[in-house]
Amino acid sequence: MHDHQPRTITPDDLPEVITRYLAAHRAHDTATAVTAFTDDATVIDDGNTYQGGAAIERWLDRSATEFTYTIDLTNAQEIDTAHYIATHHLEGDFPGGTIDLRYRFTLRDDLIEHLSIEP
């Protein structure tokens, strides 16, 4: 896929669209979060794939209300100008109580084309 080694960057060096999405997601602001995605974007979370704006909006709404948790950005990496990884530490009332998740972003035209969330 990529032969580039991820390079650790500061969270401030993440592209604006990723920062905007993450801030909106943390604030449960689905309307703003969904604007960060391309019209044909895909999100993979918990083994499920969500394709397109309407499906992503439903996923954002559900993930905002399903559990109560805190989310802290603990690491940011750049693979190349279109691929970034943001690692988050979550603590809350979901099964297991704590988890570190890697958000793998693929960007196109300054929007998120693909987001994969995995431990």
The answer to whether the beta carbons of residues 73 and 2 sit under 8 Å apart is no
In angstroms, the CA 112 to CA 7 distance is 19
Residue type, 96: G
Q: Is the pLDDT of residue 77 over 70?
A: yes
The answer to whether the beta carbons of residues 53 and 34 sit under 8 Å apart is yes
Q: What is the pLDDT of residue 85?
A: 98
Percent of the chain predicted with pLDDT > 70: 97
C-alpha distances out from residue 69 to 15, 21, 43, 109, 111, Å: 25, 17, 20, 32, 26
When pLDDT is cut at 50, 70 and 90, the band that residue 43 belongs to is very high
Q: Is the pLDDT of residue 92 over 80?
A: yes
- What structural domains and CATH numbers belong to the chain? 7-118 (3.10.450.50)
Q: Is the pLDDT of residue 2 over 70?
A: no
Q: What is the pLDDT of residue 118?
A: 95
Q: Is the pLDDT of residue 3 over 80?
A: no
- Using DSSP, state whether 117 is helix, strand or coil: strand
Q: Is the pLDDT of residue 1 over 70?
A: no
Q: Is the pLDDT of residue 48 over 90?
A: yes
Question: Which phi-psi region, left, alpha or beta, contains residue 36 (left: φ > 0; alpha: ψ -120 to 50)?
Answer: alpha
pLDDT, one tens digit per residue, over 10-21 is 999 999 999 999
Residue 23, burial from CB neighbour count under 10 angstroms (0-12, 13-18, 19+): middle
